[in-house]
Structure 1
């Protein structure tokens, strides 16, 4: 009995150390990501010119509907407020909670999705540096309204403009990383309600990033594509757990 108790304690201690190590790694990666992004020097005129190019692209393809959609949302104050809360509290709290759940309950899957986030984040930093873009909320001339800041200062307090690159709209990893977490939850959730949450979460976040004027439709799509490419690369480079067949 004593030997068994000692073995159990050692196992728990080992697991706790692993969790602590991964928590430190993810925290360091997030700090590094935002630190590098915030320190990037951006030519503001270039960011606005690139924003104009993004809008021109959407206009040429007939998908520049963000101002009209946002106007419809603003007419319903409660809906704009709900989307703001989804944008603020549906991202990092959900991403970090999902990573912790994967780390504790699905260790092999955790490594895959962690690496997918790291790879897509690295790709995002390269694009932010090469192609800075002003977000829609800065382009009030098109009718965009920053509904997040208008209704609450919480998000700008959590990510002060002085420490965040405000001209990194493309790609939207705000959506891309939620898409990764949605795939994880939809693939591994034990109950259909949990799996349904995994399906709906990225859809709601895509709506939130666009309808709060924080991202364009194009960069939401770009963020999703880069996140999926990161997942594919992580899958190709890592071990192939049996459950990963569901991702196909």
Structure 2
């Protein structure tokens, strides 16, 4: 079959090439992997639904108490074998300073959510081009953690029966943990591995350190996960090996984002250009093709002779004095 031809106003024929087959699947994938400007309503809905789903799945994992306690005993013996079983001494030492341990209880209960959401809002407002990729890291990290809760139930140190760990929330009667006191029935008691307090805090700290401009803010970004590690150990909510599990999950999240977007989130452009309006051409709002035909029509009319056979009048050009 030959190429289609179109007759223009000048009577000339222009070849119109057949449309190139649009690889719909590949084009859609390319669009999905291209950073775009986030939409506020969608992000609020996505975060709310994702956290609700995370909590639902986490708490739906069977509370395998016997296996969780066995795993905790094994982990505690492993740390002793490594000579790094420091959690019990830290727990007792910090518990002796009432104002400090009470502050850590509230730290454990609140900053985990406040800082993470604050970093997401900051990314949305100041780094829209990096927002989706950095959010993907957080979501992938949290998603793979759910697998850990299911495959490896683990009791926190404060629930172990053959140790002297102190449940600081109960002892000091503070509201400080969904896994202690009156709120314990709302959360899975045996989902300590991996620690998402560490996964989320390191994600927040790295994001702040990589993208913040103020030096002292960047330093605070690094200190935040370090402080979180001390808090989860001092309150007997986690072993330090749970923190290692959280870091492994975070590394998985960064790998997913790197493969999807082709670069680490922090190396992507800070902003995303606004999409161009389709169908806009030259002045007057004409599409490019129509504008071309219009110009061609005017040009041809200017070369036609008048009705009396005289050549068309040429426009005069003014010369500056």
Structure 2 length as normaliser, TM-score? 0.67
d(CA) in 1 for partners of 2:130 and 2:175? 35
Q: 2:105 matched to which residue of 1?
A: 84
Query: Which ranges of structure 1 fall in alignment gaps of 5 or more residues?
Result: 1-14
Q: 1:109 matched to which residue of 2?
A: 130
Q: How many residues align?
A: 231
Which deviations, in whole Å up to 9, do the C-alpha atoms of 1:204-235 show, x marking residues without a partner?
01111111100001011211221122113212
d(CA) in 1 for partners of 2:260 and 2:221? 25
Point out the structure with the larger helix share.
Answer: 1
Q: 2:233 matched to which residue of 1?
A: 210
Q: 2:249 matched to which residue of 1?
A: 226
Q: Any conservation in 2 of the 1:73–1:211 contact (CA below 8 Å)?
A: yes
Alpha carbons of structure 1 residues 171 and 17: separation in structure 2 relative to 1, 3 Å? closer
What SS does the aligned partner of 1:171 have?
coil
| Structure 1 moving runs of 4+ over 6 Å | none
**Shift, 1:199, TM fit:** 0.8
d(CA) in 2 for partners of 1:72 and 1:218? 20
* Aligned Cα root-mean-square deviation (Å): 2.3
Alpha carbons of structure 1 residues 189 and 64: separation in structure 2 relative to 1, 3 Å? same
d(CA) in 1 for partners of 2:56 and 2:265? 36
Say which is worse superposed, 176-185 or 66-75, in terms of deviation: 66-75
Alpha carbons of structure 1 residues 243 and 62: separation in structure 2 relative to 1, 3 Å? same
Task: Name which of 206, 214, 217 aligns with 1:191.
Answer: 214
**Shift, 1:83, TM fit:** 1.9
Q: Any conservation in 2 of the 1:108–1:241 contact (CA below 8 Å)?
A: no
Structural mapping, 1:1-248, within 5 Å: 18-139=39-160, 141-151=162-172, 152-156=174-178, 160-240=183-263, 243-244=266-267
Which deviations, in whole Å up to 9, do the C-alpha atoms of 1:160-207 show, x marking residues without a partner?
322321100000011111100110011111211221111111100111
**Shift, 1:16, TM fit:** 10
Say which is worse superposed, 222-231 or 124-133, in terms of deviation: 222-231
Structure number, greater radius of gyration:
2
Structure 1 length as normaliser, TM-score? 0.86
